[in-house]
């Protein structure tokens, strides 16, 4: 089932199918401790549920594709050509598959895919999460992230960026959550790593999410809070007070992750079980 904006009847139907909303997460934000042993969640009203349970192409009412290479202005010295081909992006057996392949295509040595909800689903504040099994290998760079919906009028980094999850494939136990904005972008982003205890992100599914509200972004893995960023933490203007849209992609190479080597195995696939977004009915 792929749902964009849900009315009350649709929402009740989805919740009746046992979408996971941890009861212990429904609590106030202000005045609460934010140590690593708990997460703080106030957004429980479902607004988007992409469950990827129908084989074929992703839901066109929610997802678009970026097509091409970094010459389109994306930067980072990445090596892949993004496509919308079945070989790079498809839904099978209840999962969205984003696959990076080593192949010559349109002048690039690799192909992959980047999906985005720009102009189709955008929201200010709430809980954004996805259940994902990550790929592995030197030079492999998956990400689940967000950009300010006004990016055409306010080019990056002024529009703002929230990296819910990005990860270096050669380090399968560590991910990074970040915010970028004017005065704190790229290598100066406000970031924190999370190391998975006694496990790897490429051997099973994990839930990556944020709880975002006025003047805070809380980062969590498997519903455990590991970082909170507020206006006091950034070194420039706080720009996280407007709608953002979602992106998911699997890059190959680049300045952040380095480049594939002879030990990198292709194809590599990022499997997404679901993407869900909630809002706090008390916060617009």
Strand partners, 212: 126, 217
Say which of 166, 195, 211, 263 is annotated catalytic: 166
Cα–Cα distance list, 257 to 49, 51, 107, 138, 178 (Å): 31, 29, 22, 8, 15
Say which of 129, 161, 193, 211 is annotated catalytic: 161
Q: How many CB atoms lie within 10 A of CB 226?
A: 19
Radius of gyration in angstroms for the set of CA atoms belonging to the chain, rounded to a whole number? 18
Q: Name the helix (H) or strand (E) containing 268.
A: strand 268-279
Q: How many CB atoms lie within 10 A of CB 149?
A: 21
Q: Do 43 and 26 touch, CB atoms closer than 8 A?
A: no
**How many Å apart are CA 53 and CA 10, to the nearest integer?**
17
* 129 catalytic per annotation: no
**How many Å apart are CA 114 and CA 112, to the nearest integer?**
7
**How many Å apart are CA 70 and CA 238, to the nearest integer?**
27
User: Which residue in 136, 138, 147, 92 sits closest to 114, CA to CA?
Assistant: 147
**How many Å apart are CA 58 and CA 144, to the nearest integer?**
16
* 166 catalytic per annotation: yes
Q: Do 113 and 82 touch, CB atoms closer than 8 A?
A: yes
Q: Do 130 and 14 touch, CB atoms closer than 8 A?
A: no
Q: How many CB atoms lie within 10 A of CB 129?
A: 24
**Which residues have a catalytic role annotated?**
161, 166
């Amino acid at each position: 089932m792929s749902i964009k904006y849900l009315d009350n009847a649709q929402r009740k139907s989805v919740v009746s199918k046992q979408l996971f909303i941890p009861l212990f997460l429904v609590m106030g934000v202000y005045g609460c401790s934010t140590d690593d042993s708990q997460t703080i969640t106030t957004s429980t009203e479902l607004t988007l549920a992409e469950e990827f349970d129908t084989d074929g192409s992703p839901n066109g009412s929610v997802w678009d594709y970026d097509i091409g290479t970094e010459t389109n202005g994306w930067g980072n010295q990445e090596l892949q050509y993004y496509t919308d081909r079945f070989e790079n992006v498809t839904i099978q057996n209840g999962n969205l598959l984003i696959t990076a392949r080593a192949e010559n295509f349109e002048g690039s040595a690799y192909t992959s895919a980047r999906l985005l909800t720009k102009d189709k689903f955008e929201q200010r504040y709430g809980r954004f999460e996805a259940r994902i099994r990550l790929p592995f290998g030197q030079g492999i760079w998956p990400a689940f992230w967000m950009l300010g919906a006004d990016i055409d009028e306010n080019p990056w980094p002024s529009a703002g960026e929230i990296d819910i999850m990005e990860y270096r494939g050669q380090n399968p136990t560590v991910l990074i959550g970040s915010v970028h904005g004017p005065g704190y972008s790229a290598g100066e982003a406000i970031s924190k790593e999370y190391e998975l205890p006694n496990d790897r992100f490429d051997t099973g599914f994990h839930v990556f999410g944020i709880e975002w509200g006025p003047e805070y972004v809380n980062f969590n893995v498997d519903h455990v809070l590991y970082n909170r960023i507020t206006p006091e933490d950034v070194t420039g203007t706080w720009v996280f007070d407007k709608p953002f849209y979602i992106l998911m992609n699997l890059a190959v190479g680049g300045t952040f992750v380095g480049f594939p080597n002879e030990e990198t195995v292709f194809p590599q696939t990022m499997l997404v079980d679901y993407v869900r977004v909630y809002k706090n009915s008390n916060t617009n």
